[in-house]
Amino acid sequence: MAETTKTAKLTIDGESFDLAMYAPTDGPEVIDIRKLYAQAGVFTYDPGFTSTASCDSTITYIDGEAGVLTHRGYPIGQLAKESHYLEVCYLLLYGELPSAAKLEEFETLVTRHTMIHEQMHNFFRGFRRDAHPMATMVGVVGAMSAFYHDSTDINDEHQREVASIRLIAKMPTIAAMAYKYSIGQPFVYPRNDLDYASNFLRMCFSVPAEEYEVNPILARAMDRIFTLHADHEQNASTSTVRLASSSGANPFACIAAGIACLWGPAHGGANQACLEMLREIGTPDRIPEFIARAKDKNDPFRLMGFGHRVYKNFDPRAKVMKESADEVLDLLGVENNPTLQVAKELERVALEDPYFAEKKLYPNVDFYSGIILDAMGFPTSMFTPIFALARTVGWVSQWKEQLADPQLKIGRPRQLYLGEAQRDYVDIEKR
C-alpha cells in the first residue's frame, strides 16, 4: 500500500473529517474514503466508478490525456514492436521481462497445456449449431472448473499458478473450437511446433482435407492484436473479474464472468461496430456524406473506431496496429474488397480533416484491428472471442494480484436509494 502523503479535509454541517491521501507512482493522488461512512455517516456517489480507485495495482498504467499505456512500466508501443505476446504474458504475470531461459521455459509450459480435456468436446456439442462463439466460450470456460479440480483452490499458490497457465494456454483452443463449431467444421487440435499466434490461426482456418501453412505476416499481425489487447487497467471486464474473485469464486468462474462482461457492445464489440459502419458506408464515394453526418450534432450517426473513452489523445496502441493493418492489406490486397477500400480512404480523409484533429478523434485500436481480422477472414462474430483470448492474461494477472493482497475484501458497492420509504403491507382485499 502507498504511504500517506497528506490529508484532505471534508467538512459536513460544520464538522470536519481528515481523510488520508496517497500518491501513486504515476497519475493523480487518491483520497482514502474507506472509513468515511464510519466517521461521517455518508457514502460517496460515483456512477460508473469513473472517479474511484477500486484497488491498488502494479500491473498497468494509463494516462488518457497524454496517450500513455504501460505494462509494468514498459510502453505498449515498445512491447508491441520489440516483444511478442507470450513474453508480454510473462511480464504481466510476474512483473519483469524474462531471461532467455525463463522465456523458453514459460513458452514450453504454455505450449504443453494447449489441449483441452477430451470430454469437453461433448460440452461444445451441447450448444445449438448457430450459437454465438462468445456464448460458447462463456459456458466452456466456466465449465473448466468441472474438469480441472486440481487448480480451483484459490488459497493454494501452486494451484493458482496452474490455473493461470491453463487459462492462457487453452483459451486459443477454446476460441478456435467455438468458431469451428459455429461453422460446422471439425475441431483442429493444437500443434506443439507452432508459436501461440500461428497455432491459433491454424486451429481456426485449417481443415483435415489439406495442409495449411500459416503466413508469417498474418501470424505477426495476430500476435500484435493479442499483445495490444493483453491488459487495459481497471476496465469493466477486469473489474468484473476482480469483483467475482473477491467472493472466493474459482478462477474459471471469474474469467467466464470477464468474458460475459466483455461481450457487451460498449466494451468488447467496438471493432465489430466499426466494421459494420464501414459496410454501411459501402463505397469510398459515400465517405463525404458520412463525414458530414458525423459533424452534424443533430444526426445520431457516429464514426465508430475514432476516439476513445479513456484516451483524450492518440490511442498509443493504434500506431502499431496501423502498421500491422498496412502489412496485412498489402499482403492480401484491398482492390477487390470494398470494405477495406472504404477503411483506407476513411482513414486518410479523417486524418486530414481539421475537425477530427481538433476534437482528437483519431483512429483507435478497434478501427485497425477490425480491418485486420476482416482481411484475415474472421467473421465479426469472432472479433470479441479473439479479444477475450488476448485479455485472458490481463484478467489472470489482476486476479492473482488481488488474491495476494492482504487488504482483500468482498466487493460490496453502496447505492443512493431513491425508492419508496418504509411502508406497511396491505392485505390484498384492501388494495
What secondary structure does DSSP assign to 58-79, as a single string? SSEEEETTTTEEEETTEEHHHH
CATH at residue 198: 1.10.580.10
195 close to 15: Cβ distance less than 8 angstroms: no
Which of 91-100, 343-352, 367-376 has the largest mean confidence? 91-100
Higher-confidence residue of 21 and 365: namely 21
Q: Judge whether 137 lies within some domain.
A: yes
Q: Judge whether 410 lies within some domain.
A: no
> Does 114 lie in the same domain as 160?
yes
CATH at residue 274: 1.10.230.10
Q: Judge whether 191 lies within some domain.
A: yes
> Does 289 lie in the same domain as 195?
no
Is the pLDDT score of 1 beyond 70?
no
CATH at residue 22: 2.20.28.60
> Does 281 lie in the same domain as 251?
no
> Does 12 lie in the same domain as 126?
no
> Does 318 lie in the same domain as 273?
yes
Nearest Cα to Cα of residue 164 among 407, 401, 383, 411: 401
> Does 73 lie in the same domain as 41?
no
> Does 158 lie in the same domain as 83?
yes
Q: Judge whether 17 lies within some domain.
A: yes
Among 64-73, 299-308, 398-407, 419-428, the minimum mean pLDDT is found in 299-308
Mean pLDDT of the 253-267 span: 93
- Residue 123 grid cell: 460440452
Owning domain of residue 261: 68-266+381-404
Mean pLDDT of the 113-142 span: 94
pTM over 0.85: yes
Q: Judge whether 411 lies within some domain.
A: no
> Does 262 lie in the same domain as 276?
no
> Does 148 lie in the same domain as 261?
yes
Reduce the DSSP state of residue 47 to 3 states and report it. helix
> Does 27 lie in the same domain as 144?
no
Q: How confident is the model at residue 318 (pLDDT cuts 50, 70, 90)?
A: confident
Mean pLDDT of the 101-114 span: 98
319 close to 378: Cβ distance less than 8 angstroms: no
Is the pLDDT score of 44 beyond 80?
yes
Is the pLDDT score of 394 beyond 70?
yes
Cβ contacts of 359 within 8 Å, gap of 6 or more: 307
d(CA 367, CA 303): 10
Specify the pLDDT at position 335.
65
39 close to 55: Cβ distance less than 8 angstroms: no
Q: Judge whether 319 lies within some domain.
A: yes
What is the tally of structural domains in the chain? 3
> Does 174 lie in the same domain as 74?
yes
> Does 218 lie in the same domain as 79?
yes
166-193 per-position pLDDT tens digit: 999 999 999 999 999 999 999 999 999 9
Sheet of 60-63, strands arranged across: 60-63, 68-71, 74-75
Among 78-87, 188-197, 269-278, the minimum mean pLDDT is found in 269-278
Is the pLDDT score of 341 beyond 90?
no
Q: Judge whether 243 lies within some domain.
A: yes
Q: Judge whether 372 lies within some domain.
A: yes
β-pair type (60-63, 30-31):
unpaired
Q: What amino acid positions are annotated as catalytic residues? A: 308, 366
